[in-house]
Amino acid sequence: MKLSIIALALIGLVFTSCTDSEAVIDDTTSSEVDLKAVEEEAEVDKISDETSAIIEEAFLMEEFPATKSSAIDRYLPDCVTITVVIVQNMKTVTIDFGDGCELRNGNFVSGKIILEYEKDPGVSVMKSFEFDGFTFNDKSVEGSGSILRERSNENGNPQSTRTGDVTVTWPDGSFANKNGTKTREMIEGQGTPAWGDNVFLITGNWNFTKKDGTELSAEVLEPLRRELACKFLVSGIIDLNKNENNAVLNYGDGECDDLATVSINGGEEIEIHLSNLR
């Protein structure tokens, strides 16, 4: 009798183990777009946009000091150190935040971003960048890319097109990779010394891959509006796709808040708080 009970227990344990294993496999291979993946994509997107702003402001401070020389009005805080090395026709700009530095909009960063481009940029310049021990709000950021900056696009506005491959790692060891292209058009604030009036419209498309293998493709349906004085994107829509399924991430109607909505496969909109993303 005892042997029969033990045998039944072992069979139950094996069955449970198989069921749990199958559940994990089903979860990672599911064709649906889950809310957590959308939230993580939004966080990586925020880091991508913030680092683009840092690179742009450092470039302006170096190449156009007459308009960005005031320590009170510039976007980069006093805790950043910028060093420049010129070798032949190339200029290397190191943006060093040390062990920790709070940006004007409240985000906290550390480590370095290294920027390289031709010494005498003309109306357009190709800049390469890479991260060196860089963190953003306690998340590690690795990778590199390039940015084509045009002094004037067809609308007469400054524009930067960023192509990059960046991996963000959370403190718990999970990570996500983003690679693709983004275009940032500066529609307000050009030519003024103050950073608070800078406004950008962002378009583009990219791929997003999580540690567990989940892959999403993303495309901006309505330009994302970034007001540099705000910690978050204030409007714009991104379409995220996985196989035949999709999620629509909507950043709102222009208010500076941490709210966005997510609709999965045309379902009811779910409100998320961008400040609560892990």
Three-state helix/strand/coil letters over 228-239: CCCCCCCEEEEE
Q: Which residues pair with 249 in a beta bridge?
A: 238, 262
Residue 232, domain member (yes or no): no
Rg (CA), the chain: 22
Residue 213, domain member (yes or no): yes
Give the side-chain half-sphere CA count within 13 A for 214. 25
Q: How far is residue 19's CA from residue 209's CA, in Å, rounded to a whole number? A: 26
Q: Which two tokens stand for residue 138?
A: 């306690």
Residues in the chain: 278
Give the domain range for residue 40.
33-223
Q: How far is residue 160's CA from residue 195's CA, in Å, rounded to a whole number? A: 17
Residue 128, domain member (yes or no): yes
Domain count, the chain: 1
Residue 46, domain member (yes or no): yes
- Of the candidates 188, 231, 187, 222, the residue with the CA atom closest to the CA atom of residue 47: 231
Residue 173, domain member (yes or no): yes
Q: Taking a C-beta distance cutoff of 8 angstroms, is the pair 228, 195 a contact?
A: yes
Q: Which two tokens stand for residue 134?
A: 């860089």
Which ranges of the chain have pLDDT less than 70?
A: 1-32, 66-73, 277-278
Residue 53, domain member (yes or no): yes
- Of the candidates 14, 29, 18, the residue with the CA atom closest to the CA atom of residue 243: 29
Supply the pLDDT for residue 6: 38
Residue 61, domain member (yes or no): yes
Supply the pLDDT for residue 67: 56
Q: What are the tens digits of pLDDT across the range 74-91?
A: 788 889 999 999 999 999
Residue 219, domain member (yes or no): yes
Q: How far is residue 104's CA from residue 102's CA, in Å, rounded to a whole number? A: 7
Q: Which two tokens stand for residue 204?
A: 């583009």
Q: How far is residue 248's CA from residue 260's CA, in Å, rounded to a whole number? A: 10
Give the side-chain half-sphere CA count within 13 A for 203. 6
pTM above 0.75? yes
Supply the pLDDT for residue 66: 62
